[in-house]
């Protein structure tokens, strides 16, 4: 018996010595050049101390270690950029060096390294450029897209009219209609109310966004996926993601069988045309524009695009119920500028006629900060920042939340106040450190479409309805954990104006 205990202690002591020697070697080689940060435990690093809302933990660490610090996430050392100066120094001043994406197990599994968001180098550059080109061809930022968005908003208005003077959850109707906008743009396809495909896709996207959250322990300790019974939910996640890809591939195959040159009328058609042209130009060469990349791009548009727009809207309507004076000011501006005979259109915003409504949307972006930790970047080469040396491919986490609530940048940052964005000329102006879509060359490709949708959505619904929550004391603004931070389910009272 004594011999067995001695063997066990010998094994444990050996493992501890190995860990200490490995840690010392890493520190001598890399760690001493990195920013300071907290020590962690063997294997798990600092993960046990990270809140489920990781950005709150990073806010506390910033107070202790400053605007740039290191943190061990399992065996991976990451650098956290926790204020505007640090983020600007990397994503703006050294934007191309920091345009890389580090290995991130859940993202790799979800995207199959075929999306715009999770690639880097030439493949990312060419795929991003083509995606933006195809979005422009289908009318993003133009009148054609406005017509598609307005049609879906009319559907939302018609639905809410049937719920007049009732308590309503907006999530389902917003999700279906935002998705309908995307499907019309991408595949010239519409979803009718109660469409089973749309309902199923909604469930899949919602679950994927929960599974893919950035603080999922599998991201830093991928071996956890082999632990029974289900690898911390990993294999359910894989099966679910495969269903999403099957659904998207089905739409692509339909388009491939019907595609005719010169008759392209949606995003998939235009992308297929580009693939065929790319094949002609790269005979005998590796082709990095193909249908797999198209599937990945659709994953980006639907999984990221739908949930982020809907989540921003849900936070916005919650805030205007909790701060009703903001709602009244926005409605007053709409009535004075638009009148009561028509709904607002994009030209009303683009001409600067609705500065308060625009400022309200900016404040929703800031206050909600739905992506509090921007998608992780990494330097494509070893680089020096503020006297620290960051090795090639080191994960760099941008804490957008810390910037959006930095008292050095914002007066009373914990107060919801759209007027902070209105200047002396009564113009709504967004400072560079408001960055809900990130910043630099990797800024979200859906920014233009999301801005169109949110302007028309908030403008139209506030023009038609009053929104309120009778029992505000039961409402929490503490978010749910997902890749984006979502409000907990709530209902509001809808009343026709």
DSSP bridge partners of 100: 378
- Cα 311 from Cα 301, distance rounded (Å): 15
3-state helix, strand and coil shares in percent for the chain, rounded to the nearest 5: 55, 10, 35
Give the SS3 label for residue 37: coil
- Cα 71 from Cα 50, distance rounded (Å): 10
The binding site comprises 444
Closest to 152 (Cα-Cα) out of 209, 104, 197, 193:
193
Closest to 135 (Cα-Cα) out of 182, 90, 91:
182
Phi-psi region of 217 (alpha: psi -120 to 50; beta: other; left: phi over 0): alpha
Which stretch of DSSP H or E encloses residue 78? strand 76-81
State the residue for tokens 């028309």.
456
Phi-psi region of 165 (alpha: psi -120 to 50; beta: other; left: phi over 0): left
Closest to 333 (Cα-Cα) out of 367, 364, 358, 361:
358
Q: Which sign does the torsion angle of CA 327, 330, 333, 336 carry? A: negative
Give the SS3 label for residue 444: coil
- Cα 425 from Cα 438, distance rounded (Å): 27
Give the SS3 label for residue 428: strand
The binding site for heme comprises 444
Phi-psi region of 79 (alpha: psi -120 to 50; beta: other; left: phi over 0): beta
Six-digit token pair at 218?
Answer: 């599998």
Label the pairing between strands 68-73 and 76-81: antiparallel
- Cα 259 from Cα 273, distance rounded (Å): 9
- Cα 103 from Cα 106, distance rounded (Å): 9
- Residue 338's φ and ψ, nearest 5 degrees, are -95, -35
Note the maximum CA span of the chain: 89
As a dihedral over the C-alpha atoms of residue 368, residue 48, residue 391, residue 80, rounded to 10 degrees, the angle is 30
Phi-psi region of 440 (alpha: psi -120 to 50; beta: other; left: phi over 0): left
């Amino acid at each position: 018996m004594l011999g067995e205990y001695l063997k066990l202690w010998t094994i444990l002591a050996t493992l501890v010595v190995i860990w200490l020697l490995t840690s010392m070697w890493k520190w001598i080689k890399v760690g001493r050049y990195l920013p300071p940060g907290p020590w962690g435990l063997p294997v798990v690093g600092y993960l046990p101390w990270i809140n489920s809302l990781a950005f709150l933990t990073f806010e506390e660490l910033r107070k202790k270690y400053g605007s740039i610090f290191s943190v061990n996430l399992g065996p991976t050392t990451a650098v956290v950029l926790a204020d505007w100066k640090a983020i600007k120094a990397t994503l703006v001043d050294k934007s191309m060096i920091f345009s890389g994406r580090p290995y991130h197990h859940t993202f790799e599994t979800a995207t199959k390294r075929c999306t715009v968001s999770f690639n880097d180098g030439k493949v990312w550059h060419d795929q991003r450029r083509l995606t933006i080109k195809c979005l422009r061809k289908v009318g993003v930022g133009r009148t054609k897209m406005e017509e598609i968005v307005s049609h879906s908003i009319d559907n939302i208005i018609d639905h809410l009219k049937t719920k007049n003077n009732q308590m309503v959850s907006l999530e389902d109707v917003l999700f279906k209609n935002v998705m309908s906008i995307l499907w019309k743009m991408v595949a010239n396809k519409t979803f009718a109310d109660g469409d089973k495909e749309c309902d199923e896709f909604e469930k899949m996207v919602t679950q994927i966004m929960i599974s893919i959250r950035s603080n999922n322990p599998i991201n830093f300790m991928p071996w956890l996926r082999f632990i029974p019974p289900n690898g911390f939910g990993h294999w359910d996640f894989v099966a679910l993601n495969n269903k999403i890809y099957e659904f998207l591939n089905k739409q692509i195959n339909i388009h491939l069988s019907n595609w005719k040159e010169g008759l392209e009328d949606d995003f998939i058609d235009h992308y297929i045309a580009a693939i065929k042209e790319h094949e002609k130009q790269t005979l005998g060469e590796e082709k990095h524009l193909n249908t797999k990349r198209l599937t990945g791009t659709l994953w980006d548009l639907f999984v990221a695009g739908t949930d982020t727009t809907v989540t921003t809207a849900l936070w916005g309507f919650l805030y205007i119920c909790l701060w009703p004076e903001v709602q009244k000011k926005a409605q007053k501006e709409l009535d004075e500028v638009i009148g009561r005979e028509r709904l607002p259109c994009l030209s009303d915003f683009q001409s600067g006629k609705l500065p308060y409504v625009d400022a309200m949307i900016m404040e929703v972006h800031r206050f909600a900060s739905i992506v509090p930790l921007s998608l992780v970047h990494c330097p494509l080469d070893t680089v020096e920042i503020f006297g620290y040396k960051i090795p090639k491919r080191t994960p760099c986490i941008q804490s957008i939340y810390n910037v959006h609530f930095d008292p050095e940048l914002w007066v009373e940052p914990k107060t919801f106040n759209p007027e902070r964005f209105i200047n002396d000329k009564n113009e709504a102006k967004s400072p560079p450190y408001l960055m809900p879509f990130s910043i630099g060359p990797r800024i979200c490709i859906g920014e233009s479409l999301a801005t169109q949708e949110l302007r028309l959505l908030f403008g139209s619904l506030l023009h038609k309805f009053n929104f309120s929550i009778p029992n505000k004391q039961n409402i929490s603004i503490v978010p749910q954990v997902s890749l984006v931070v979502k409000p907990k389910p709530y209902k509001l009272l809808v009343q026709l104006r």
